[in-house]
Amino acid sequence: MTREVKKTFDSGSGGGVPAPPPPAALAAKVRTLAPSMTRSMQRVAEAVAEDPAGCAALTVTGLAQLTGTSEATVVRTARLLGYPGYRDLRLALAGLAAQQQSGRAPAITTDIAVDDPIADVVAKLAYDEQQTLADTAAGLDTVQLAAAVSALAGARRTDVYGVGASGLVAQDLTQKLLRIGLLAHAHSDPHLAVTNAVQLRPGDVAIAVTHSGSTGDVIEPLRVAFERGATTVAVTGRPDGPVTQYADHVLTTSTARESELRPAAMSSRTGQLLVVDCLFVGVAQRTYESAAPSLAASYEALAHRHRVPRQSP
Amino acid sequence: MTREVKKTFDSGSGGGVPAPPPPAALAAKVRTLAPSMTRSMQRVAEAVAEDPAGCAALTVTGLAQLTGTSEATVVRTARLLGYPGYRDLRLALAGLAAQQQSGRAPAITTDIAVDDPIADVVAKLAYDEQQTLADTAAGLDTVQLAAAVSALAGARRTDVYGVGASGLVAQDLTQKLLRIGLLAHAHSDPHLAVTNAVQLRPGDVAIAVTHSGSTGDVIEPLRVAFERGATTVAVTGRPDGPVTQYADHVLTTSTARESELRPAAMSSRTGQLLVVDCLFVGVAQRTYESAAPSLAASYEALAHRHRVPRQSP
DNA sequence: ACCGGAACGAAAATATCTTTCACATCGTGA
DNA sequence: TCACGATGTGAAAGATATTTTCGTTCCGGT
């Protein structure tokens, strides 16, 4: 049996980087209005301009003490700066502080270093995975996806192959499909995978998940499935890899930067899971009639409240 | 060895020290804590999450009237969200509003519908998962995370518990830890998990992964580990759930919107994996000396990207 | 030295926030 | 079904914070 090999080529371009926020012109206002201020008021204005965040945490009394003035003076200053009262100045101050905070561009574009503080690690990882999602979504061929969904929705049975980190993705897909009543199985044992692949026939679906696109243990069962006439799908980061030879539909995941502290296995997984989710939702839509009860059931199960004791005052 | 069970309620950052006011991860927090809120509180939380700027301009009484509740409820909600009182919530709100003001991408806020075209599904899923990542990153307590990392880095052995979708996350973490030379094992069989938990002792680490925070099969082994003196960590979407009773460190994942076509199991996974990645990178940093060779090896293995496509017989 | 006026702060007056407490509501088990 | 206990809720009392009032102080000019 001779079957054609499809190819997809696309390099995703992710979302843009948000522009730096416009700075509130409070400092300028202070400088402009300083001449028309009395000495005490200037002290207050200066304190406010110097440390918005800190002052935002203070009450009128607090700020008055800090600047060695009185509450009345603080309120007068707030008025002079254009606010109805101190309360509003304080609100504006909080906003300013937040802007300044977010304005500090965390160097997330750089790679993760060994001595990065943990907060940076979190930010960088999150940013990176977001990027991977954006890229994968942008680069995903919806035609291929729709085709894969159709095949899955009408499949007699579905086998999913994946080893290592991709094995977990395969299992994730399987779990989801089972939940909506499809017959699916994940294989991470190459031998068993091939053994089972032999049982496949036209109308069945075989899916291979591999980031590198050249994992023999996964390609082999897909090849067998392909030759048995099953509809084959490849979820891979390398649309030009060997695995696509035997894939009717290729779903490409984005390949993010990798490095020592950011192994490929990590970022690839994110994109693969997005694809898996898309497949799942697509199939759920198609088989909504039969899937709805199961979906509702699992939704209910989690919606049910496990009430816990409330806090004491 | 007997260890005291912690109080059920925990606003996210453990320890007896006064919890610092959380950053502007408000929408995330609202979603995370929504399930543990009463109806009235949910109304307030929703209003606040929906229009931070507008609410920041309101007084307690105003917000109470707007949401058709009482001042008391508003204050209670503020407390639940982690602020000392409404005043502070309002301040945070102002900050959030300012941040939002300074430009953000338009959101695809609608839910996934049964008749959505596949392209929309992809976009919505991608957006949603990105949101989950951002929320989780913003809401993650770095102190708790650092503590968990320390414990892991020095652990004699590490057990990870998780069932269902969370089981895959547990496996993912285990795979990663093993790769850098740590002794880790994932358990999805409750019986075996408990059996193994009994073997744990001080210096060991036990990690429970559960979105709902009330999965008995996962809580039980964690309890045993806790009582045996092991350092326990909970990765959960419900920082007020029962599981946190036995957790020395709680790592909270964001709870995204869920619906019929978007089960909790799906979006929760994304956040959990981010946390897992953070743990992994954190530990890799700490144990860099010993981890580097293994990391380099696996990097090398994948760096040979262009392995010539070989046609199997 | 004396006066006029602006600057300033103490304290009263007001607004706002927090806590308390009693009642309503709901789920649960007899 | 009913009674009961637990939980959710808001009105109003209580505590804080903000704003206003008003008298005192501090100048600079006669």
The Cα A134–Cα B220 span in angstroms is 39
Cβ-count burial A280-306 (b if 16+ within 10 Å, e if not): bbbbbbbbeeebeeebeebbeebeeee
Q: Supply the DSSP symbol for A57.
A: T
Average pLDDT over residues A44-52: 86
Task: List the 169-208 stretch of B: residues with Cβ below 8 A of A.
Answer: 171-172, 175-176, 179
DSSP run (H or E) holding B142? helix B142-153
The pLDDT, as a whole number, for residue B299 is: 59
Among all chains, which residue has been given the structure tokens 């609202």? B30
Task: List the 56-115 stretch of A: residues with Cβ below 8 A of B.
Answer: 56-57, 90-92, 94-99, 101-102, 112, 114-115
Residue A152: band (very low, low, confident or very high) from pLDDT cuts 50, 70, 90: very high
Tokens of A137: 């979504």
Residue A15: band (very low, low, confident or very high) from pLDDT cuts 50, 70, 90: very low
**Greatest mean pLDDT among A3-7, A297-301, B154-158:** B154-158
Residues with CB under 7 A from strand D: A 59-61, 71-72, 75, 78, 84-88, 90, 307, 309-310; B 38-41, 68-73, 87
Tens of pLDDT, residue by residue over A176-196, are: 999 888 999 999 899 999 999
What's the residue count for chain A?
A: 313
The pLDDT, as a whole number, for residue A19 is: 27
Whether residue A312 has pLDDT greater than 60 = no
User: From the CA of A72, how many Å to the C1' of C13?
Assistant: 14
The pLDDT, as a whole number, for residue A306 is: 40
Whether residue B1 has pLDDT greater than 60 = no
Tens of pLDDT, residue by residue over B178-196, are: 988 899 999 999 999 999 9
What amino acid is encoded at A164 in this protein? Answer: G
The mean pLDDT value of chain B amounts to 82
Long-range contacts of B108-117 (CB under 8 A, 24+ apart): B111/B257, B111/B259, B111/B261, B111/B262, B112/A281, B112/B259, B112/B261, B112/B262, B113/B261, B114/A285, B114/A288, B114/B261, B115/A285, B116/A285
Query: Closest Cα of chain B to A42: distance in Å?
Result: 24
Residue A13: band (very low, low, confident or very high) from pLDDT cuts 50, 70, 90: very low
Substitution target in A176, A260, A288 with the highest count of B β-carbons within 10 Å is A260
Are the CB atoms for B37 and B45 separated by under 8 Å?
A: yes
Whether residue A224 has pLDDT greater than 80 = yes
CB atoms within 10 A of CB B41: 22
Average pLDDT over residues A51-63: 89
Average pLDDT over residues B196-224: 91
Angle at A168 between CA B173 and CA B126, to 5 degrees: 95
Q: Which of A123, A149, A212 sits opposite B302 (nearest CB)?
A: A212
Q: Picking from A143-147, B240-244, B296-300, which range would have the lowest pLDDT averaged per residue?
A: B296-300
| Sequence-separated (6 or more) residues with CB below 8 Å from residue B16 | none
- What is the dihedral angle through the alpha carbons of A88, A92, A95, A100, rounded to the nearest 10 degrees? -150
The pLDDT, as a whole number, for residue A35 is: 65
**SS3 state at B147:** helix
Tens of pLDDT, residue by residue over A256-287, are: 666 666 676 677 889 999 999 999 999 999 88
User: From the CA of A306, how many Å to the C1' of C30?
Assistant: 24
The pLDDT, as a whole number, for residue A311 is: 36
Whether residue B247 has pLDDT greater than 70 = yes
Whether residue A10 has pLDDT greater than 70 = no
Are the CB atoms for A208 and A238 separated by under 8 Å?
A: no
Give the percent of chain A with pLDDT over 90: 38
The mean pLDDT value of chain A amounts to 80
CB atoms within 10 A of CB A18: 12
The Cα B146–Cα B153 span in angstroms is 10
Tens of pLDDT, residue by residue over B152-171, are: 999 999 999 999 889 999 99
Average pLDDT over residues B35-39: 81
Are the CB atoms for A196 and A185 separated by under 8 Å?
A: yes
Q: Picking from B5-14, B165-174, B217-226, which range would have the lowest pLDDT averaged per residue?
A: B5-14
Angle at B16 between CA B147 and CA B278, to 5 degrees: 20
The pLDDT, as a whole number, for residue B59 is: 92
The Cα A34–Cα A77 span in angstroms is 10
Whether residue A9 has pLDDT greater than 50 = no
Whether residue A55 has pLDDT greater than 50 = yes
The pLDDT, as a whole number, for residue B29 is: 79
Region of B241 on the Ramachandran plot (φ > 0 left; ψ -120 to 50 alpha; else beta):
beta
The Cα A195–Cα B177 span in angstroms is 31
User: From the CA of B73, how many Å to the C1' of C17?
Assistant: 12
CA atoms within 13 A on the CB side of A212: 25
Substitution target in A173, A289, A308, A312 with the highest count of B β-carbons within 10 Å is A308
CB pairs under 8 A between A and B: 237
User: From the CA of A29, how many Å to the C1' of C11?
Assistant: 32
The Cα A183–Cα A174 span in angstroms is 9
